[in-house]
A and B are shown apart, each in its own frame.
Chain A
Amino acid sequence: MHTTERLTFARMTTQPDCDMHGRYMAAEGVRARRIGNETMVLVMSTGHYLSLNATGSIVWEQLLRGATPAEVASSVAQSFSIPPEQAASDVNHVMADLLLHRVVVAAPAAEA
């Protein structure tokens, strides 16, 4: 078999910080498709596929609707009946991964 490096799936594991009250949008050249309870993401700038788990998929979809990470965390806490601190931590981790892998970028100030 001859596979190529780009087809290696990257599970998102690194967590830099994000602005929980900022607004974000999909980066240029990103395509996403909900498949089952996960979301497959194509990042053309890096040539990678990424997979978002169920929580990541919720964060992704709400971000695209214009919610801030803090608003997403509040929604997650209510939907899953988990402590707000835990929801904020989970969303922060997802956001850090999305930023690290260039899936999302901060929205321009005019759109914030």
Chain B
Amino acid sequence: MPALRPTLPLIPLAVLLYRNELIETNSLDAECDAVPIQSIRGGDARVWGEILRSPNAYLFHFFELARFELPIAAMRADPGSAIRFVRLPAADDRTVQHLWRNQVLPYLWSAQGYAVLHVSAVAWRRQIVAFAGVSGAGKSTLATALLQSGARLFSDDGLRVRFHRGSAWAWPGSRAVRLWPDSADALRGGSFDAVRGVTYSSKAHFELRETARSPTLPGKLRCIYVLDGREDVQTPIDVQPVVAQDAFQQLARHSFVLDPHESVCAEMHFNTLSDLAAGGYVKRLRYPRSYARLRDVVQAVHFETMNSCTPPSA
């Protein structure tokens, strides 16, 4: 009889039970003695927000949109702590929710023992495949296209990763993707409903919401593709391994870390990225940026993932 072996990583009970409570308010107590610790930049390198720290809380300032106060207690999943926010006139409800889910929450996860990658990820039978790249590289477009071949949207923007028994596991996150108008036009239909986007982006986005049932349990991380899209439509589709040191740098560029001076968080992040880089999880996907060849790219990713990606048993 085979020995009973756990198939899922242990999840801290407090994290399972805890649901952050968002409370709207007119002012934040921690603002008076907070100091900036890092800037938040958009894909065009423009600073559109900053993170500050006070003795008892972290503060997120999204300029002209909203400010969030994250008590230190929330880092420890204290059920007694609630997260307060101040909404500024330019932000509607959807924008506040988006800032919370896709910006603040990934940073919070980074302080709760996860490496949090800025990627779009899908699940194929609980095998997780993620796409990393600069803004506009096609992460969300490719993830959305894969949904039409049987994948499920697993997380857009922040993907939690942690090693357990030598394998990388990923946790589901935000299941709404934002697409540029041309991508939305090319991909509209299927199991998605288009809804209007958020207010803060200088360019129009479409937010698509998956209506089919999405994964709720962690899955094994199979592969992280760093996107290398080429404008030449004849570009051959090609997947190559990324040498470990380059893989580490790619992962570091595409991740969230709340407070790099907080030693436990920083060290955990460093170790997880090192393990991912050394474990061969990162590959480079070169492909033509052409909607006419999107189906070919999807097939290539599917084939590569199922046949060649490093089994998550490093």
Which residues B37-63 have CB closer than 8 A to chain A? Answer: 38-43, 48, 51
Shortest Cβ gap from B261 to chain A (Å): 5
CB closest residue in chain B, given A49: B252
How far is A45 from B260 in the complex, measured between Cα atoms in Å?
8
Whether the Cβ atoms of B118 and A2 lie closer than 8 Å is: yes
Chain A residues within an 8 Å CB radius of B134: 1
Interface string of B258-291 (1 = CB under 8 A from A): 0011010011001100100110000000000000
A35 touches B267 (CB 8 A): no
B38 x A2 contact (CB < 8 A): no
Q: Which chain B residue lies CB-closest to A1?
A: B135
Residue of A nearest to B39 (CB): A5
Q: With A3-B118, A40-B274 known to touch, is A51 a contact of B249 (CB < 8 Å)?
A: yes
Q: Would you give the shortest CB distance from B242 to chain A, in whole angstroms?
A: 10
Q: Which of A1, A6, A31, A51 contacts B254 (CB 8 A)?
A: A1
- A2, A7, A31: the one contacting B42 at CB < 8 Å is A2
CB distance from B233 to the nearest CB of A (A): 24
CA distance A8 to B261 in the complex (A): 15
Flag if A4 contacts B257 (CB, 8 Å): yes
**Residue of A at shortest CB range from B261?**
A47
| A36 to B253 alpha-carbon distance, docked (Å) | 18
**Is A44 interfacial (CB-CB < 8 Å)?**
yes
Q: Is the CB of A35 within 8 A of B248?
A: yes
Query: Which chain A positions have C-beta within 8 A of B141?
Result: none
Please determine whether A44 and B244 come into contact, CB atoms closer than 8 angstroms.
no
4 smallest CB-CB distances across A and B, nearest first, come from: A47-B260, A1-B135, A36-B244, A38-B245
Binding site for A on B (CB under 8 A): 38-43, 48, 51, 103, 118, 133-135, 243-245, 247-249, 252-257, 260-261, 263, 266-267, 270-271, 274, 277-278
Residues of A within 8 A of B (CB): 1-9, 29, 31, 33, 35-38, 40, 42, 44-45, 47-49, 51
